[in-house]
Chains A and B, each alone.
Chain A
Amino acid sequence: MDTGKNRLLMWAAIVLGFFSSIILVRNAGDASVFPAFISDPFQFSEWINQGEDWLKKNYRWFTRMIAGWIETALYTVEDFLIESPWLLILMLFILPSIAYGGLPLGLLTLVGGLFWGGVGMWEPTMQTLALMGMAVILSVFFGILLGITSAQSDRFESILKPILDTMQTMPAFVYLLPAVFFFGIGGPPAIMATMIYALPPVIRLTNLGIRQIPAETIEAAHSFGANRLQTLVKVQLPLSLPSIMLGINQTIMMALGLVVLATFIGADGLGSEVWKAIYKLRVGWSLEGGLCIVFMAIIFDRLSLALGRPKPSALPANTTRFYLLPQSFDIYPIAKIIERPIGAGWNFIAMCGQGFTQIIAVTLGSIVNLFDSVRGQAFVIGIRRHAFLVSSIALLLSISIFDHFFGIGEFLESMQFSFREPVDNAVAWLTVNPAFIAFTKGLRALVYLYFLHPLDVFLTYLPWYIVVAVLSIVSWISVGRNFALVCFCLLMFIGACDLWEQAMLTLSSVLVSVLICFIIGIPLGILSTRSKRFDMILRPVLDAMQTLPSFVYLIPVLMFFGGNIVSAVIATVIYALPPVIRLTALGIGQIPVTYTEVSSSFGGTTSQTLIKVKLPMALPSIMLGLNQAVMMALAMQVVTPLIGGVGLGREVFNALNTSNTGEGLAAGIGIVLLAIILDRLSQAWTQTQRDALGV
Chain B
Amino acid sequence: MNSSTKIVCNNVWKIFGPNPEKTLAGLDHSLSRAEILEQTGHVVAVRNMSFRVEEGETFVVMGLSGSGKSTLVRCLSRLIEPTSGEVLIDNDDVIKMDAAALTNLRRTKMSMVFQHFGLFPHRRVVDNIAFGLEIRGMGKKERTDKAMEVLEMVGLSGWDQHFPRELSGGMQQRVGLARAMAVNPEVLIFDEPFSALDPLIRREMQDELLRLQKLVKKTMVFITHDFLEAIKMGDHIAIMKDGETSQIGTPEELVAEPADDYVREFTEDVPRYKVLSVAKIMQPPENVTLSDNTTTVKPDDKLEALIDLVSSSNGPLGVVDDSGELVGEINQAMVLKAMNSRS
Measured CB to CB, the residues of A under 8 A from B are 594-595, 597-605, 608, 612-613, 616-617, 619, 692-695
Check: B132 CB closer than 8 A to any chain A CB: yes
| B77 and A601 contacting across the interface, CB-CB below 8 Å | yes
Question: Does B122 contact A693, Cβ atoms closer than 8 Å?
Answer: yes
Question: Chain B residue with minimal CB distance to A615?
Answer: B122
Residue picked from B77, B111, B121, most chain A C-beta under 10 Å: B121
B112: A residues at CB distance < 8 A: 598, 601
Interface on B for A, CB 8 Å cutoff?
74, 77, 79, 103-108, 110-112, 114, 116, 118, 120-122, 131-132, 134-136, 163, 165, 183
- Chain A residues near B163 (CB-CB < 8 A): 694
Taking CB as reference atom, which chain A residue is nearest B104?
A603
| A602 in contact with B116 (CB, 8 Å) | no
User: Is B135 touching A594 in the complex (CB atoms < 8 A)?
Assistant: no
Task: State which of A597, A602, A617, A695 has its C-beta within 8 Å of the C-beta of B135.
Answer: A602
Closest 6 CB pairs of A and B: A603-B107, A603-B106, A602-B132, A694-B165, A598-B118, A601-B112
The CA-CA distance from A617 to B118 in the complex, in Å, is: 13
Q: Tell me if B120 and A603 are in contact (CB < 8 A).
A: no
Task: Collect the chain A residues with CB atoms within 8 Å of residue B107's CB.
Answer: 602-603
Kindly provide the distance from the CB of B35 to the nearest chain A CB, expressed in whole angstroms: 24
Q: How many whole Å from B218's CB to the nearest CB in chain A?
A: 16
A597 contacts across to B, CB distance below 8 A: 74, 79, 114, 118
Q: Nearest Cβ in chain A — how far from B159, in angstroms?
A: 16
Inside 8 A of B121's CB, which chain A residues have their CB? 617, 693-695
**B116 pairs with A594, CB closer than 8 A:** yes
Contact B120 A595 (CB under 8 A): yes
A residues near B111, Cβ cutoff 8 Å: 601-602
A604 to B79, CA, bound (A): 11
Do A594 and B183 touch (CB < 8 A)?
Answer: no
A603 touches B103 (CB 8 A): yes
CB distance from B248 to the nearest CB of A (A): 25
Task: Enumerate chain A residues within 8 angstroms of B118, measured Cβ to Cβ.
Answer: 594-595, 597-598
Q: Which residues of B contact A603 (CB under 8 A)?
A: 103-108, 132, 135-136
In angstroms, Cα B136 to Cα A368, docked, is: 88
- The complex places the Cα of A442 from the Cα of B165 at a distance, in Å, of 50
Q: Which residues of B contact A601 (CB under 8 A)?
A: 77, 79, 106, 110-112
Closest to A594 in B: B118
Residues in chain B near residue A693, CB distance under 8 A: 121-122
Known: A601-B79, A603-B104. 10 other contacts (CB 8 A): A594-B114, A594-B116, A594-B118, A599-B135, A600-B106, A602-B107, A603-B136, A692-B122, A693-B121, A694-B121
Distance in Å: Cβ of A527 to nearest Cβ of chain B: 21
Kindly state the separation between the CA atoms of A602 and B121 in the bound complex, as whole angstroms: 17
A594–B74 CA distance with the chains assembled, in angstroms: 12
- Shortest beta-carbon distance, B6 to chain A, in Å? 18
What B residues does A617 contact at CB under 8 A? 120-122
Please, which residues of chain B bring their CB within 8 A of the CB of A612? 131, 134-135
CA distance A608 to B135 in the complex (A): 7
Distance in Å: Cβ of B37 to nearest Cβ of chain A: 21
**For B134, what are the chain A residues with a Cβ–Cβ distance below 8 Å?**
612
Beta-carbon contact of B106 and A616 below 8 Å:
no
Residues on B with beta carbons closer than 8 Å to the beta carbon of A613 = 120
Max chain B C-beta neighbours (<10 A), residue from A597, A599, A603? A603
Return chain B residues, CB-CB under 8 Å to A605: 103
Residues of the A chain whose Cβ atoms lie less than 8 Å from the Cβ of B165:
694
Report the bound CA distance from A467 to B64 in whole Å. 64
Q: Is the CB of A616 within 8 A of B122?
A: yes
* Bound Cα distance from A679 to B114, whole angstroms: 40
Please list 15 pairs of residues, one from A and one from B, whose beta carbons are closer than 8 Å in the complex, sorted by A's number: A594-B116, A594-B118, A598-B120, A598-B131, A599-B135, A602-B106, A602-B111, A602-B132, A603-B104, A603-B106, A603-B108, A604-B135, A617-B120, A692-B122, A693-B122
Shortest distance from the beta carbon of A608 to any chain B beta carbon, whole Å: 6
Does B120 contact A602, Cβ atoms closer than 8 Å? no
How far apart are the CA atoms of A619 and B123 in the complex, in Å?
A: 13
Residue of B nearest to A602 (CB): B132
Give the contacting residue for A602; candidates B74, B122, B131; CB below 8 A.
B131
Chain B's closest residue to A609 (CB) is B135
**Residue from B104, B105, B122 having most chain A Cβ neighbours under 10 A:** B122
Q: How far is the CA of A598 from the CA of B122 in the complex (A)?
A: 14
CB distance from A597 to the nearest CB of B (A): 6
Within the complex, the shortest CB–CB distance from B125 to chain A, in Å, comes to 13
- Chain A residues, Cβ within 8 Å of B136: 603
- Residues of chain A lying within 8 A (CB to CB) of residue B114: 594, 597-598
> CA–CA, A616 to B112, complex, Å?
22
**When chains A and B are docked, how far (Å) is the Cα of A601 from the Cα of B111?**
6
**Interchain nearest-CB distance for B176 vs A (Å):** 9
A695 to B165, alpha carbons, bound, how many Å?
Answer: 10
Residue of A nearest to B78 (CB): A600
Residues of A within 8 Å of B108, CB to CB, are 603
A600 and B118 alpha carbons, distance in the complex (Å) = 12
For A613, the closest partner residue in chain B by CB is B120
**A595 vs B131: C-alpha distance when bound (angstroms):** 12
How distant is the Cα of A605 from the Cα of B100 in the complex, in angstroms?
10
The residue among B103, B108, B116, B163 with the most chain A CB atoms within 10 A of its own CB is: B103
Smallest CB–CB gap between B181 and chain A, Å?
12
Cβ of B106: which chain A residues have Cβ within 8 Å of it? 600-603
Give the contacting residue for B183; candidates A598, A602, A695; CB below 8 A. A602
- In the complex, A694→B103 CA distance in Å? 31
Which residues in B have their C-beta under 8 angstroms from that of A695?
Answer: 121
**Chain B residues near A598 (CB-CB < 8 A):** 112, 114, 118, 120, 131
Q: How far is the CA of A619 from the CA of B122 in the complex (A)?
A: 10
Shortest distance from the beta carbon of A600 to any chain B beta carbon, whole Å: 6
CB of A600 within 8 A of CB of B79, answer yes
Q: How far is the CB of B225 from chain A (nearest CB, A)?
A: 18
> In the complex, what's the smallest C-beta–C-beta distance from A523 to chain B, in angstroms?
21
- What is the distance, in angstroms, from B70's C-beta to the closest C-beta of chain A? 10
Q: Closest B residue to A693 by CB, please name it.
A: B121
A616 to chain B, nearest CB (A): 4
Give Cα distance in the complex from A595 to B165, angstroms: 15
Report A-chain residues with C-beta under 8 Å of the C-beta of B135: 599, 602-604, 608, 612
Instruction: Report chain B residues within 8 Å CB of A604.
Output: 135
Among B110, B120, B165, B183, chain A packs the most CB atoms within 10 A around the CB of B120
Distance (Å) between the CB of B184 and the closest chain A CB? 12
Question: Within 8 Å CB of B131, what residues of A?
Answer: 598-599, 602, 612
How long is the Cα–Cα vector from A256 to B79 in the complex, in angstroms? Answer: 50
Most buried by B among A594, A598, A599, A616: A598
Shortest C-beta distance, A310 to chain B (Å), equals 29
A599 surroundings in chain B (CB, below 8 A): 131, 135
Q: Which residues of A sit under 8 angstroms from B103, Cβ to Cβ?
A: 603, 605
Residues on B with beta carbons closer than 8 Å to the beta carbon of A608: 135
Q: Which residue of A lies closest to B108 (CB)?
A: A603
- Chain B min CB distance to A462 (Å): 34
Q: In the complex, what distance in Å separates the CA atom of A603 from the CA atom of B183?
A: 11
Q: Look across to chain A and name the residue whose beta carbon is closest to the beta carbon of B133.
A: A602
Docked CA distance A608–B116 (Å): 22
* CB closest chain-B residue, reference A605: B103
* Distance of B135 from chain A, by nearest CB (Å): 5
Which of B104, B116, B131, B163 neighbours the largest number of chain A CB atoms within 10 Å of its CB?
B131
A599 to B104, CA, bound (A): 13
A680 to chain B, nearest CB (A): 24
Complex: chain A residue closest to B106, CB-CB: A603
Bound-state Cα–Cα, A494 to B77, Å: 62
CA–CA, A597 and B114, complex, Å: 10
| In the bound complex, CA of A189 to CA of B131 (Å) | 61
Q: Given the complex of chains A and B, what is the CA–CA distance between A613 and B107 in angstroms?
A: 17
- Complex Cα distance, B36 from A156, in Å, reads 59
Compute how far the CA of A612 lies from the CA of B136 in the bound complex, rounded to whole angstroms.
13
Complex CA gap A692/B118 in Å reads 17
* Chain B residues whose C-beta falls within 8 Å of the C-beta of A616 in the assembled complex: 120, 122
What distance in Å separates the Cβ of A689 from its nearest Cβ neighbour in chain B? 9
Residues of chain B within 8 A of A619, CB atoms compared: 122
Q: How far is it, in angstroms, between the C-alpha of A692 and the C-alpha of B105 when the chains are bound?
A: 33
B127, closest chain A residue (CB): A612
